[in-house]
Amino acid sequence: MISSEVSEIITNEPAKVQNAEFVESLKKDLEKVKFVDFKFTDLPGMWQHFTVPIAQLTQDSIQAGFGFDGSSIRGFKEISESDMLLIPDMKTCFTDPFSDSTISIIANVKDPETSEFYSRDPRFIAQKAEAYMKSTGIADTAYFGPELEFFIFDSIRYEQKENFGYYFIDSKEGSWNTGSEEENNNTGYKPRFKEGYFPVPPTDSQQNLRNEIVETLSKSGINIECHHHEVGTAGQAEIDMGYAPLIKMADQVMMYKYLIKNTVLKDGKTATFMPKPLFNDNGNGMHVHMSLWKDGKNLMYDKEGYAMLSETAMHYIGGLLKHAPALCAFIAPTTNSYKRLVPGFEAPVNLVYSKRNRSAAVRIPMYSTSEKSKRIEFRTPDPSCNSYLGFSAMLMAGLDGIKNKIHPGDPLDRNTYGLSKEEHAKIRSVPSSLPEAIDALENDHDFLLEGNVFTKDLIETWIEYKRANEIDQIKLRPHPWEYHLYYDI
């Protein structure tokens, strides 16, 4: 049974960051709680967890932490130094809709010998990024509003052995299924390739499922603005969260993925945030809206500036564009990311900025002239990124731009895909592969080390992990299309 002291902590701490309706709902749920599930993030960006009976959650254990084996977590400790602690952040409590009688709490990682928070814990890096921003005096709050896209498929099969390799995706919504005889009573309502944006039902067959997802997200304390079908066929979706400060939003991204995957699983479907699961159609992006505030004032706004942007905002953009190749190692961190970052899709590869223009890497939304809504949108990231590391890296690049007054140059208010070869040659672009992005990070990371936000050890570990576990592994394996190209040579 939960003690009255801990019950008070659980309800009072979330009240600092959540609305009253959520807190009241949490209070009611506590009467049925039997377990506490602690969630934390490994280095690549996947949630990990373990569960304890509610009686184990006491004031002493909240302060002392809960032990676990860090050597079994990707990117953490060696087996000779495996003991680690989880320190629960009580502000993050939410009722877990997929684990009976359970509340979930997001935790930080601490080293038991030094009693210091762990330098490779992604959440701790995000906390340091926020603290560094405040220490500069530039801003006291960084708001982030990511737009995560994902696919909801009916089934997925994949395998790689020494003598074969394949993947097979299927969806009743897939344009390739208009002639399927296996589907009982095929009605033919399938979004055509690249034509999935905003069709009404029955072509949009997942309206009710997305409604269910939104209800689940909202009950867990996530503020949702809207949802809709996305451009891709076969069930591409987007559900937009309201903006929030960096750490809270990074937490919410982890919750968002967890809650969506488990909600669709109840319907026998599968959700993926993989950047490019389908050939020849749009991939999954994560356009990130950002703004800096100080003393309640939006530092990005100037009604006389280009697109109503302030000089501070222009320098923030300058930092993003200057460091974009290195940033890609964190914000587009998979080999698959660079199958999305190609010309011709809504995944801008050109390092320019513009108002309204979705073919620019940085876009300035123009829906409103309100000072509160003025922000920039960075369109290069994708949802495979570790939200704590990705948001922190973007903030550090922007702050570097402000500190060093890096101007982004002139805007490009044209469709970059319609430029001539000569015009294209003058524009910098994102890396064309993960190896290029990792090389860029290796050569340009001093801006991340400011304030000891990222450490040399973290960056070296990230580079080593990506090269050994992803880049080199992909290099070793034949691709099916290589058989088409070369088998008869």
Q: Which of 287, 323, 340, 363 is catalytic?
A: 287
Q: Which residue ranges does the chain devote to CATH 3.10.20.70?
A: 4-118
Q: Given pLDDT bands bounded at 50, 70 and 90, which one contains residue 369?
A: confident
The dihedral built from the CA positions of residue 66, 68, 70 and 74, taken in this order, carries a sign that is: negative
Q: Which of 251, 377, 400, 470 is catalytic?
A: 377
Query: Mean per-residue pLDDT for 243-265?
Result: 98
Q: Which residue ranges does the chain devote to CATH 3.30.590.10?
A: 141-172+241-246+280-486
CATH of 141-172+241-246+280-486, one of 3.30.590.10, 1.10.10.10, 3.40.50.300, 3.90.1150.10: 3.30.590.10
Amino acid 9: pLDDT:
86
Q: Which of 130, 154, 230, 302 is catalytic?
A: 230
Q: What is the CA radius of gyration of the chain?
A: 23
Residue 346 has pLDDT above 80, yes or no: no
Residue 359 has pLDDT above 90, yes or no: no
Annotation marks residue 377 as catalytic:
yes
Annotation marks residue 470 as catalytic:
no
Q: Given pLDDT bands bounded at 50, 70 and 90, which one contains residue 79?
A: low
Residue 246 has pLDDT above 70, yes or no: yes
Assess contact for 15 and 24: CB atoms under 8 A. no
Q: Given pLDDT bands bounded at 50, 70 and 90, which one contains residue 184?
A: confident
CA of residue 364 relative to chain centroid, distance: 20
Q: Given pLDDT bands bounded at 50, 70 and 90, which one contains residue 50?
A: very high
Query: Mean per-residue pLDDT for 222-236?
Result: 96
Which residues are bridge partners to 278 per DSSP?
none
- DSSP structural state of residue 471: I
pLDDT of 89-101, one tens digit each?
Answer: 999 999 999 999 9
Residue 165 has pLDDT above 80, yes or no: yes
Annotation marks residue 413 as catalytic:
no
Assess contact for 342 and 279: CB atoms under 8 A. no
Annotation marks residue 69 as catalytic:
yes
% helix / strand / coil in the chain, to the nearest 5?
Answer: 40, 20, 40
pLDDT of 308-341, one tens digit each?
Answer: 999 999 999 999 999 999 999 999 999 999 999 9
Q: Is the peptide bond before 325 cis (omega within 30 degrees of 0)?
A: no
| Average pLDDT taken over every residue of the chain | 93
Q: Which of 123, 229, 379, 445 is catalytic?
A: 379
Amino acid 61: pLDDT:
94
Which residues are bridge partners to 289 per DSSP?
145, 377
Which residues are bridge partners to 301 per DSSP?
309
pLDDT of 24-37, one tens digit each?
Answer: 888 888 888 999 99
Q: Which of 29, 147, 173, 281 is catalytic?
A: 147
Q: What angle do CA 196, 433, 152 make, to 5 degrees?
A: 30
Annotation marks residue 358 as catalytic:
yes
Query: Mean per-residue pLDDT for 153-164?
Result: 96
**Which class does domain 4-118 fall in?**
alpha beta
Amino acid 1: pLDDT:
67
Could you tell me the two tokens for 40? Answer: 């934390």
Query: Mean per-residue pLDDT for 395-423?
Result: 89
Residue 366 has pLDDT above 90, yes or no: no
Q: Which of 5, 8, 24, 69 is catalytic?
A: 69
Q: Which of 228, 358, 414, 467 is catalytic?
A: 358
Query: Mean per-residue pLDDT for 334-358?
Result: 86
Annotation marks residue 230 as catalytic:
yes
Amino acid 483: pLDDT:
93
**Strand intervals (E) in 209-285:** 224-229, 236-241, 244-245, 270-272
pLDDT of 417-474, one tens digit each?
Answer: 677 788 878 889 999 999 999 999 999 999 999 999 999 999 999 999 999 999 999 9
Q: Which of 149, 173, 400, 470 is catalytic?
A: 149
CA of residue 460 relative to chain centroid, distance: 22
Annotation marks residue 195 as catalytic:
no
